[in-house]
């Protein structure tokens, strides 16, 4: 499963949500969702605009995390992995 890293990157760089919205030309409601909902998957255009403004590859905005489908029914990771 993928999760967004936008909040962390903005905090590291001292960039506000409002500034990202204005300068990346992304509506503020989408920026808020990018920051507050780590599992929200925006359109590739939105990711591209944010990545371009932040001068990072789009992949840097995403992080792979373990999801429920990667665990066994009892909540433990499969030992075979």
Find the CATH number of the domain harbouring 15.
1.10.260
Alpha-carbon distance 60 to 58, whole Å? 5
Read off the DSSP letter of residue 63. E
Alpha-carbon distance 22 to 27, whole Å? 8
Which 3 state secondary structure label does DSSP give 53?
helix
Residue 66 lies in a domain: no
**What is this structure's pTM?**
0.76
Total domain count, the chain: 1
Residue 14 lies in a domain: yes
pLDDT tens digits along 15-61: 999 999 999 999 999 999 999 987 788 999 999 999 999 999 999 99
Residue 51 lies in a domain: yes
CA nearest to 27, candidates 3, 51, 57, 49: 49
Q: pLDDT-derived band of residue 65, with 50, 70 and 90 as boundaries?
A: confident
């Amino acid at each position: 499963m993928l999760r967004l890293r936008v909040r962390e990157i903005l905090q590291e760089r001292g960039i506000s949500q409002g500034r990202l919205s204005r300068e990346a030309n992304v509506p503020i409601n989408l920026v808020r969702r990018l920051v507050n909902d780590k599992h929200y998957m925006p359109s590739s255009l939105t990711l591209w605009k944010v990545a371009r403004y932040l001068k990072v590859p789009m992949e840097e905005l995403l992080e792979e995390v373990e999801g429920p489908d990667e665990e066994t029914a009892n909540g433990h990771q499969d030992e075979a992995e």
